[in-house]
Chain A
């Protein structure tokens, strides 16, 4: 006896909701996520504390920061760094996030989950979107723990708390919004290097440190170009979200983050559609 076969196209919202459900479940059930949240909190606290620690002779080094909030964001946009203090702010979250995304996506391929996924109705575009959203969420969480760690560490180190609250809030929001662009970049990189886990991590680290933009900035400074054009890039825009931020900074961050997210998602989808699933 035969029964009628019914085929139904799953809606985009259904597909994405299912995939997001799985990815969020995995995120919250993996120790890696909590380890990275802890790292994000400890690093700024350690940097603050270490800079005020006395050496063997009881002398303390010159403090790296003059203000607690410089651990969160630079005083003004600094595309070329001179000291570790210029570098050590919330932008470090994007390096931790890059490594976390590599491990997260690496597990998808190693376990064969991707194969299982792509043989069903799941589309490559859904996969890119789901990973970007979940990893962006993880980075936003890291921004929060970084903020808590940095603030507590800075207070314990005795730094000044003076700040323009509006600019601080806008800077933190700008960096959180940039998480989407960064997460999309890392997802894309991990799709490109999906067969080589080590290269995926290395490339995420390389881009996360903003080495390229720092190099570009050095060239721009020597040319008659406005440095604001660096804000078009992920690292540049993340640097732009500083303690002098205004509404324009936030809008720049939103636009840059969304544009890069769309760009990397489309490119990643194209690559996935054209390549074999291992």
Chain B
């Protein structure tokens, strides 16, 4: 049984079709990185999973039951767009109200524990409106964690978090899925961060799922490239550009050669043309580059 199984899902807003025949499978215990450009249909799909907007056609099954089933819905934790908090109330009060809505028997204990998990125990008495963006995101995730959900649907949960906040969230996510039953769907534009935790990926474009794969499959399909530094960088780039089809300079100032050639061949070629290579390494492209390649139509 999968945590989420979507078949041929479509959603139209008037004449605009936001999601077209989407299929999606999130296995139990997965951290599912849901990736796509702005307006690709990610949020619409997530909202349909959570029952916030009705689907036009297709089926959504959560843990083998229809997504409208109240049993399943009680075990859903959601953060979409913004946490549903009342700005004038404190973080603690907002959490307790949500706990009351969920009819949690041990509300106080759970709220204390979750606030500790997201490192917000010291800010529980702060009014929600006075919280920073990062703190609000943590509160949103804390709200989603209430009630011990089996499935978490988080839309851009890493936005506004500092480096420490992101690390904490990675730990929280990993901890949640470790029992093998709970699953998380995370959509984020911070692909580097997503790659550190995701076990599965789904890439959506124009409302269609264009690829679904595991982290291992991503790793296997990511090409290697050669990154180097030379004494004369501009000449080196000129020479490499004339010989290889794809040469780029990265943010760290390394020249990257994406063509499938051994690094020795690159060094030899540059040496023969009077350029000394000072540093060279081979690396695999990350999720971000893979995604960009995929969007450009290559791989």
Q: Contact between B78 and A116 (Cβ–Cβ < 8 Å)?
A: yes
Q: A9-B71, A119-B51 are in contact. Are A1 and B180 (CB under 8 A)?
A: yes
8 extra A-B contacts, CB within 8 A, seeds A19-B101, A119-B76, A277-B47: A1-B180, A2-B29, A2-B179, A2-B181, A111-B87, A115-B80, A119-B50, A120-B74
**Residues 105-139 of A at the B interface (beta carbon under 8 Å):** 107, 111-123
Q: CB-CB contacts of A16-27 with B at 8 A, as 1s and 0s?
A: 011101100110
Looking across the interface, which residue of chain B has its beta carbon closest to that of A11?
B103
Q: A1-B180, A7-B71, A111-B85 are in contact. Are A277 and B52 (CB under 8 A)?
A: yes
Q: Which residues of A contact B85 (CB under 8 A)?
A: 111-113
Q: Contact between A116 and B98 (Cβ–Cβ < 8 Å)?
A: yes
Q: Contact between B70 and A10 (Cβ–Cβ < 8 Å)?
A: yes
Number of interface residues, chain B, beta carbon within 8 A? 42
Q: Does B72 contact A (CB under 8 A)?
A: yes
Q: A112-B81, A277-B53 are in contact. Are A120 and B102 (CB under 8 A)?
A: yes
Q: Which residues of A contact B81 (CB under 8 A)?
A: 112, 115
Q: Report the bound CA distance from A91 to B93 in whole Å.
A: 35
Q: Contact between B84 and A112 (Cβ–Cβ < 8 Å)?
A: yes
Pick 20 A–B contacts, CB within 8 A, sort by A. A5-B150, A5-B181, A7-B71, A7-B72, A10-B103, A18-B100, A26-B86, A29-B93, A30-B88, A111-B84, A111-B87, A113-B85, A116-B84, A118-B51, A119-B78, A120-B101, A120-B102, A121-B102, A276-B54, A277-B52
Q: Contact between A112 and B83 (Cβ–Cβ < 8 Å)?
A: yes
Q: Which residues of A contact B51 (CB under 8 A)?
A: 118-119
Q: Does B215 contact A (CB under 8 A)?
A: no
Query: Which DSSP category, helix, strand, loop or mixed, fits chain B's interface?
Result: loop
Q: Does B82 contact A (CB under 8 A)?
A: yes
Q: Report the bound CA distance from A29 to B72 in whole Å.
A: 32
Looking across the interface, which residue of chain B has its beta carbon closest to that of A30?
B88
Q: Report the bound CA distance from A257 to B212 in whole Å.
A: 55
Q: Contact between A7 and B53 (Cβ–Cβ < 8 Å)?
A: no
Q: Does B73 contact A (CB under 8 A)?
A: yes
A155 to B: closest C-beta gap in Å: 37
Q: Contact between B73 and A115 (Cβ–Cβ < 8 Å)?
A: no
Q: Contact between A7 and B181 (Cβ–Cβ < 8 Å)?
A: no
Looking across the interface, which residue of chain A has its beta carbon closest to that of B71?
A7
B27 to A: closest C-beta gap in Å: 12
Q: A2-B180, A276-B53, A277-B52 are in contact. Are A119 and B103 (CB under 8 A)?
A: no
Q: Does B143 contact A (CB under 8 A)?
A: yes
Looking across the interface, which residue of chain A has its beta carbon closest to that of B79?
A116
Looking across the interface, which residue of chain A has its beta carbon closest to that of B50?
A119
Q: Which residues of A contact B75 (CB under 8 A)?
A: 5, 7
Q: Does B147 contact A (CB under 8 A)?
A: yes
Q: Report the bound CA distance from A15 to B74 in whole Å.
A: 11
Q: CB-CB contacts of B97-112 with A at 8 A, as 1s and 0s?
A: 1101111000000000
Interface size class of A (residues with CB under 8 A): 35 or more
Q: Contact between A107 and B71 (Cβ–Cβ < 8 Å)?
A: no
Q: Contact between B52 and A18 (Cβ–Cβ < 8 Å)?
A: no
Q: Which residues of B contact A21 (CB under 8 A)?
A: 100
Q: Report the bound CA distance from A40 to B93 in whole Å.
A: 29
Q: Which residues of B contact A274 (CB under 8 A)?
A: 54
Q: Contact between A8 and B71 (Cβ–Cβ < 8 Å)?
A: yes
Q: Contact between A116 and B83 (Cβ–Cβ < 8 Å)?
A: yes
Q: Does A62 contact B (CB under 8 A)?
A: no
Tell me which of B63, B76, B87, B100 contacts A5 (CB under 8 A). Answer: B63
Q: Contact between B101 and A7 (Cβ–Cβ < 8 Å)?
A: no
Q: Which residues of B contact A25 (CB under 8 A)?
A: 93, 97, 100
Looking across the interface, which residue of chain A has its beta carbon closest to that of B77?
A119
Q: Report the bound CA distance from A3 to B180 in whole Å.
A: 8
Q: Which residues of A contact B54 (CB under 8 A)?
A: 274, 276
Q: Report the bound CA distance from A53 to B203 in whole Å.
A: 74
Q: Contact between A120 and B147 (Cβ–Cβ < 8 Å)?
A: yes
Q: Report the bound CA distance from A25 to B96 in whole Å.
A: 11
Q: Does A14 contact B (CB under 8 A)?
A: yes
Q: Report the bound CA distance from A118 to B98 in whole Å.
A: 12
Tell me which of A7, A18, A117 contacts B63 (CB under 8 A). Answer: A7
**Residues 147-168 of B at the A interface (beta carbon under 8 Å):** 147, 150, 153
Q: Contact between A15 and B71 (Cβ–Cβ < 8 Å)?
A: no
Q: Report the bound CA distance from A171 to B143 in whole Å.
A: 46
With a 10 A CB-CB cut-off, give which of A17, A112, A114, A119 has the most chain B CB atoms.
A119
